[in-house]
Each structure stands twice: as C-alpha cells, then as structure tokens.
C-alpha cells in the first residue's frame, strides 16, 4: 500500500490557521471523517487525546504526527494540514508545528497499511521533503511530492517500469562493515505507528553521515521488522535501544547497550552514536540486579539515581490508590452528619459509611503497593509478590514479640524499607540460584523466588519494624509538637519545594512527605503541599493577564490555560514558562508557593484528599482561608515576576 492510498484529497487542507493544539486536532479529525475513515469521530478524538496525554506527538522541527489506534476507525487513513503561521503543539524544542499528519489505524484487522505509515514517518525526517510539503500550492502538488519522494526512496509502485521511476536510495543500514554492522539499534514507541520508524530512520541517516554502519530494528504495531540476527549482535560494537516499552532484551546479554526513550532516537541520534562508538555504553546483564528489560530504564545511572527511580516507580503506582481513596474519604465527611455521633463521624449515614469504607480500603493499599512496585523495579516480576507481602507486614506493624501486628507503627517508612529490602533479597536469590542446573530453571519463578523471597522479606521487615516505628513515631510527635512559627516554616518549605522543579525530585519529595503524613492523620502538611503546588500556574496566568507587555502574544494566550491547570493542582502547567526563563520564573513562583504553604499552616487548613485542587475545596478544613492562602501566594508570585521580567516592545511580542 502506498502513502497516497491512505491520504485522500478530502483529508488534506493547506494553509489553515489553528488557535491551539486542540483546535488543530478538531480540524484534523474533521478531515479524517470527511475522508470516510471513521465510524465515530468523538471516539477517535478520545484516542488521539489519550495518546497526547502520554506525551506530545510533536517531534520538533515544525512537525507533529498525532495518531491513534482505535475501534472508532473504519479503515486506515491519513489526514494532513499545513499551518503557515504555526501552532503550539507542545514540541520539546519549543517550535511551532507547520506540518501535521494525523494517522488513523483500526484497533484490529489487517496491518497492510503499516508499511506505508512507516515510510511516511521515515520521509518526514528529510528536511527538503518537509519544506516542499509546507510550500505546496495545491492538494495535487502535495500528493505528488509524497508520491515522488516515496518512489525515489522505496522504488516505483506496481505497474510502473523501474526505468520510468527515479532511482531508489539505498538505506543507511545496507552498508555494513566487512564483519557486520558496527552499531545496531532497536526502536519502539507505545503505539508502534510513527515514532518507532522516525527514530530508526534518523539513527540510520545520522550514522551514514558519520561514516558508521548501523542497522535499526523497528518493533512496530505490525511486529518486528529488519530484525537483528544473532551474528550481527555478536559482531556489533554496541546496541542502542530507543524505546518506550518493553522489548526482548535477553539477546543483548553481555553487550554494551544504551537504553534511552524513543524520542532520543529522533532528537539526539548523533550524541547516542558518538557515545556508543566511544565505549561509553554500559554492559547489559539480563539477570543483573539493576538492569531491566524496560528500554527506557537507563542502565548507566549512578546509585543515587537508581534508588530515586526505584522509589518513583513505587510512588507512581501508589498515587492512584492514595488519591482515589483519599478523595472518597473526604467526600464521606462532606456527606455525613456530625451531630448524629461525633465519635463515628464519617460513617453516620449509609452513603458516608459506604464512601468511607471504600476509601479506607483503597487508601490502605498504598503501603503494600508502594513496597511491591519498588521491589519490582529492582528485581523485575519476581520482586512484586515479595514487596507486596513485605509492605503488608510493615503496615501491620508485626514484630517477633507480637506476630499478630499492631504493636508498632512502621508506617510509610517501614513500607519504603520493605520494598527495597524485598527487591534486593530477590536479586540475591537470583544470583544464588543462577548456579543451579538449567533443568531447575522452571521452578525458580513459581516456587523458589516466591516462597523463600516472601519468607525472608517478611523476616527482615519484621526485624526492622520496631526501629521504623520509633523513627515514625518520633517524626509524628515532632510535627504534632511544633509551635505556630515552626509549623509556618514547615509549610513554607514544602510549599516552595513544590515549585522549585515543578514535578521533579524536590516536588515529588514534598508530595510524598505530604501523603506519608496524611496516612499518619496529619492533614495540615498535605494542605500546605497542595497550596504550594497550585501557585506556580496561577501566578503565571495572573502575570500574563495583567502584565501582558512582559510576554509574547503566544505566551499570553497560553497563560490563560494555566488558570485551569493551577486550580486543578497541576503544577506542571508552569513548566514551559519556567523552561524559557528559569532565572525569573522559578524564584518568583517558589516565593509565592512558600507564602501559600506558610499561610495554609497559619490558618490551620487541613486536607484529607491528596489531590483535586479547587474541586475538593468543600472537603478542606477552613476552605475560605485556604482559598485566601492560595490567592495571596499566587498574587505574590505574579507581582515578583512582573518586577523581574523586562518589558517587551511590539516587535518582540510578536
């Protein structure tokens, strides 16, 4: 199937204007529907937005390739627009998108269209091809440019003599050294439609320019293509794995392997190739303690970075339980009647009791889930059960004196330790059992790892529980005993941390501390954390609204969205602004966030729901004062930012 068979004239629009990314998506889904490719436009758009939620499909350099594989698609197809003025598609390099191809793929059925989509993705990595399409004056010219480029690179379509078609270019992968390819690569993206092939094409083209032979295997939705052979792997100097999902890694055991996100294959090909040929790629050991088959894992990390990533794996899986359970518990208090029985507040009415019971069960899962997924990050699947059970042992507060539990409060810290202990115990067991005969390989994951791992993990956690309980109780008593001034300072610290890196390690540390205190019944810290996290987007929105001469027209338009982001407690809405002007944005927002966190503590505000922003305001203790704290902090940040940023003239604002 040719690219032009997927792209109908009815699905092409040249020279459009798009006010926003969502506007561009709406126009493209309309074009896709006009081409007769969809059963349900709304369902297809939901698929497009779900893919965008994983990360923008803008690939930089003025190109975006939104795509979805959904049941709403009747048959595979393409839609295309050119946007002369450009549209902000949230590209990593900040560039506006001038050329957008939208891809529709059916959820099931034949994959005959995948080769054409792979070809399009590869062609878009050629600057001349992209520029010619943007400058096309008609739909006919647009289609001809695509057809000519596809023929030049991949040969004539069926029915056309080879002598009538331009000579096909030989891919970079067809130039191996005498003993094979010097470098190998594997590329894979979550949907396996576009980025997989773009990364492979860019790696091969870049290697060719550098005089280095490289072969790239593409692990797309239609299966692996250009598969690496055992001989090629044996002879290669190094392998680059640019993928955002798991691929087969056992074949690379003992070889130097660079593991990076698929986007790096598109944007950082030269750096990756230079690193691979210079001997900087770490040796991959499939059964090792810190290596994983996850291609985005980054096997060259230091100890601190590895510990942080293991912790974040646990936290990311824990948060849905914390947020869902916490909000349901908060709603139970909202719908209950305190006067019926103050001692049973939260379960006095049937609705409240139902919500609180579900919420408590979900919230109670946070510690085992945290522990389980930390252990899984360390030891892969065999670590999951060990971490879960160790986390439950920590949650129960089991000791050797009181095996039934309840004697100590190991809490969050105990589960944290249990996850790491369980994970590294399984790693030790893997090394120990690696000496067993291969005939016993099958019983390791179903018998040896679970039985010995769970037992040893429980023993270690039981031993450490009393010490974790003492630390946890000491921290809780310290926080409860803090006076007014000290609590305000604590609120300022956690508030500022939420703004310093807006989703990075400081932000995550403050949030994890808040959720840990939430589990201990300290609801004030979580309130200060959320107040601090709401401030940066709101402060930027206020500044772009009332001090327009400090920002470009595009920034002012984007700033409005930050009102919604901030009120929803999505701190990351401020990241694009912080990335473009960190020396002014970050200090301003951090000061404003510190003010909000400190005022939240001063007013004695509490929060039982660890997320939700304005939408959980009715469940917040002292809600009006909380609103005032957030507003004062945001205004403070906006005013400081307005003083730090210089005025722009009309030309600079465009």
Active site residues: 67, 189
Per the CB < 8 A criterion, the answer to whether 593 and 633 are in contact is yes
Instruction: Give the span between the Cα atoms of 288 and 442, in whole angstroms.
Output: 18
CA separation for the pair 394, 415 (Å, rounded) = 5
Give, in order, the Cα–Cα distances in Å from 459 to each of 389, 411, 447, 448. Answer: 11, 17, 18, 16
Task: Please state, in angstroms and rounded to a whole number, the distance separating the CA atoms of residues 641 and 646.
Answer: 10
Strand partners, 241: 186, 259
CA distance 627 to 314: 32
Per the DSSP assignment, residues forming a β-bridge with 69 are: 105
For residue 84, the surrounding DSSP H or E stretch is strand 77-87
Residues pairing with 239 in the sheet: 184, 257
Q: Provide φ and ψ at 59, rounded to 5°.
A: -105, 5
Question: 368: which strand partners?
Answer: none
Helices 411-433 & 449-480 angle (0-180, nearest 10): 160
Chain length of the chain:
654
Burial track 157-170 (b if 16+ CB lie within 10 A, e otherwise): eeeeeeeeeeeeee
Residue 382 phi/psi, 5-degree rounding, is -60, -20
CB-based contacts of 480, cutoff 8 Å, min separation 6: 522
Contact 71, 5 (CB under 8 A): no
For the chain, report the end-to-end CA distance as a whole number of angstroms.
43
The span from the CA of 221 to the CA of 76, in Å, is 13
Q: How far apart are CA 37 and CA 41, in angstroms?
A: 9
State whether the Cα torsion 621-625-627-631 is positive or negative.
negative
Cβ contact 417:461 at 8 Å: yes
- The dihedrals phi and psi of 60, each to the nearest 5 degrees, come to 85, 175
Report the relative pairing of strands 63-64 and 58-60 from DSSP bridges.
antiparallel
**Which distant-in-sequence residues (6+ apart) come within 8 Å of 328 by Cβ?**
355, 356, 358, 359, 362
Q: E strand or H helix at 12, and its extent?
A: strand 7-13
Long-range contacts, 479-486 (Cβ 8 Å, 24+): 479/517, 479/522, 479/525, 480/522, 484/602
Residue 215: beta bridge partners?
A: 184
Which residues, in sequence order, are CB contacts of 13 under 8 Å at separation 6+?
A: 27, 31, 80, 81, 82
CA 283-285-291 angle, 5° bins = 95
Q: Using an 8 Å Cβ cutoff, are 72 and 38 in contact? A: yes
- Taking Cα atoms as reference points, which of 184, 298, 300, 188 lies closest to residue 243? 188
Cα 465 to chain center, whole Å?
Answer: 33
């Amino acid at each position: 199937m040719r690219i032009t068979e997927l792209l109908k004239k009815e699905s092409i629009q040249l020279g459009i204007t798009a006010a926003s990314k969502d506007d561009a998506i709406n126009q493209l889904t309309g074009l896709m529907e006009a081409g007769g490719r969809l059963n349900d436009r709304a369902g297809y758009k939901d698929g497009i937005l779900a893919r965008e939620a994983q990360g923008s499909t803008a690939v930089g350099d003025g190109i975006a390739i939104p795509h979805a594989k959904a049941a709403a698609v009747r048959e595979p197809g393409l839609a295309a627009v050119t946007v002369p003025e450009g549209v902000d598609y949230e590209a990593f390099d900040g560039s506006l998108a001038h050329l957008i191809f939208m891809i529709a793929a059916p959820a099931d059925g034949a994959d005959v269209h995948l080769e054409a989509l792979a070809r399009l993705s590869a062609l878009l990595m050629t600057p001349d091809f992209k520029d010619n399409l943007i400058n096309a004056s008609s739909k006919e010219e647009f289609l001809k440019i695509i057809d000519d480029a596809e023929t030049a690179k991949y040969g004539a379509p069926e029915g056309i003599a080879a002598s009538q078609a331009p000579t096909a270019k030989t891919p970079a992968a067809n130039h191996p050294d005498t003993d094979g390819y010097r470098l190998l690569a594997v590329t894979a993206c979550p949907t396996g439609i576009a980025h997989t092939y773009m990364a492979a094409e860019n790696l091969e083209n870049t290697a060719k320019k550098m005089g280095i032979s490289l072969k790239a295997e593409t692990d797309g939705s239609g299966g692996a293509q250009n598969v690496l052979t055992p001989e090629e792997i044996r002879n290669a100097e190094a392998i680059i794995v640019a993928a955002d999902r798991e691929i087969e890694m056992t074949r690379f055991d003992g070889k130097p392997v660079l593991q990076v996100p698929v986007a790096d294959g598109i944007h950082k090909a030269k750096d990756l190739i230079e690193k691979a040929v210079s001997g900087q790629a770490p040796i991959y050991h499939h059964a090792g303690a810190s290596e994983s088959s996850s291609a985005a894992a980054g096997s060259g990390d230091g100890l601190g970075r590895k510990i942080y990533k293991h912790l974040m794996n646990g936290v990311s899986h824990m948060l849905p339980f914390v947020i869902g359970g916490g909000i349901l518990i908060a709603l139970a208090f909202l719908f209950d009647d305190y006067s019926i029985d103050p001692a049973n507040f939260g379960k006095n009415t049937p609705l409240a009791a139902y919500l609180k019971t579900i919420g408590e069960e979900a919230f109670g899962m946070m510690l085992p889930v945290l522990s389980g997924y930390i252990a899984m990050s360390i030891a892969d699947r065999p670590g999951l059960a060990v971490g879960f059970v160790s986390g439950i042992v920590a949650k129960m507060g089991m000791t050797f004196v009181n095996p039934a539990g309840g004697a100590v409060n190991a809490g969050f810290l105990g589960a944290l330790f249990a996850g790491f202990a369980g994970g590294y115990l399984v790693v030790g067991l893997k090394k120990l059992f690696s000496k067993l005969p291969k005939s016993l390989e099958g019983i390791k994951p179903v018998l040896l790892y679970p039985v010995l791992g769970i037992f040893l993990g429980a023993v270690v956690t039981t031993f450490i529980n009393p010490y974790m309980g003492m630390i946890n109780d000491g921290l809780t008593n310290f926080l409860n005993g803090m006076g007014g001034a000290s609590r305000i300072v604590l609120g300022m610290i956690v508030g500022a941390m939420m703004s310093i890196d807006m989703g990075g390690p400081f932000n995550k540390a403050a949030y994890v501390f808040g959720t840990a205190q939430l589990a201990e019944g300290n609801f004030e810290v979580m309130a200060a954390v959320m107040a601090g996290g709401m401030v940066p987007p709101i402060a930027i929105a206020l500044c772009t609204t009332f001090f327009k001469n400090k920002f470009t027209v595009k920034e002012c338009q984007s700033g409005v969205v930050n009102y919604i982001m901030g009120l929803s407690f999505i701190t990351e809405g401020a990241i694009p602004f912080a990335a473009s002007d960190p020396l002014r944005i970050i200090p301003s927002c951090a000061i404003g966030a510190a003010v909000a966190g400190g005022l939240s503590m001063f007013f004695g505000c509490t929060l039982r729901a660890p997320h939700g922003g304005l939408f959980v305001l009715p469940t917040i203790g002292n809600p009006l004062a909380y609103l005032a704290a957030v507003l004062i902090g945001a205004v403070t940040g906006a005013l400081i930012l307005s003083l730090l940023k210089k005025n722009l003239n009309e030309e600079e604002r465009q």
